[in-house]
């Protein structure tokens, strides 16, 4: 019996949009991925629908393949500059560098100023690769330890 190969993946697109320009279907796909991972997979019930996805000061970056949204990052306006958050990758696409690619795209657009994020504590080294520095003590949000991190302007 021949080895079974996984079906070929469709081409991967990298897209972005400000909140109000998202279609209902695209917003649903982004939210579905975030709920599937952050709420269901990580068994962490919390209010994912926070009212900020459709603001005109919110920008979404995502990759899409034949199966839908594969990875996503959300950038919010923040008093300090820009706030990176909701970094997520679909289970079957992990390990392919999708989240780092989206972070590079987001930082290319917003990285000349200060950017901040609240990293899950175990991901500190991942964000340090992008120039983020620890900016306060660890805190617990939705039962998960986080670290506030800042990437200085002009980094």
CATH number for the domain spanning 67: value is 3.40.630.30
Cα–Cα distances in angstroms (integers) from residue 135 to residues 73, 84, 97, 109, in the given order? 21, 15, 26, 22
Return d(Cα 17, Cα 62) in angstroms, integer.
Answer: 9
- The model's pTM is 0.89
In a domain, 1, yes or no: no
Can you give the residue range of the structural domain that contains 123? 13-46+53-151
Using 50, 70 and 90 to split pLDDT, how confident is the model at 4?
A: low
Nearest 5°: the CA angle 124, 129, 61 is 90
- Tell me the two tokens of residue 40: 């269901």
Of 123, 53, 58, the C-alpha closest to 89 is 123
pLDDT of residue 5 exceeding 80, the answer is no
Return d(Cα 117, Cα 82) in angstroms, integer.
Answer: 9
Question: DSSP class of residue 35?
Answer: I
The pLDDT score that the predictor gives to residue 3 is 55
Using 50, 70 and 90 to split pLDDT, how confident is the model at 41?
A: confident
Q: In total, how many domains does the chain have? A: 1
In a domain, 6, yes or no: no
Nearest 5°: the CA angle 66, 71, 74 is 135
- Tell me the two tokens of residue 76: 């919010």
- Tell me the two tokens of residue 120: 């899950």
pLDDT of residue 6 exceeding 90, the answer is no
In a domain, 8, yes or no: no
In a domain, 120, yes or no: yes
Q: Phi and psi of 16, rounded to 5°? A: -150, 160
């Amino acid at each position: 019996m021949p080895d079974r190969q996984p079906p070929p993946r469709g081409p991967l697109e990298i897209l972005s949009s400000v909140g109000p320009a998202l279609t209902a279907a695209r917003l649903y796909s982004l939210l579905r991925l975030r709920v599937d991972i952050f709420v269901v997979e990580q068994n962490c019930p919390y209010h994912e629908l926070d009212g900020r996805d459709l603001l005109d000061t919110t920008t979404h970056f995502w990759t899409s393949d034949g199966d839908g949204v594969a990875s996503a990052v959300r950038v919010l306006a923040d008093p300090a500059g820009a706030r990176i958050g909701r970094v997520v990758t679909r289970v079957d696409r992990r390990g392919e560098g999708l989240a780092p690619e989206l972070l590079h795209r987001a930082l290319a657009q917003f990285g000349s100023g200060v950017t901040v994020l609240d990293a899950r504590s175990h991901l500190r080294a991942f964000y340090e690769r992008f120039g983020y520095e620890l900016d306060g003590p660890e805190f617990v949000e939705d039962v998960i330890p986080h670290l506030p991190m800042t990437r200085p302007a002009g980094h």
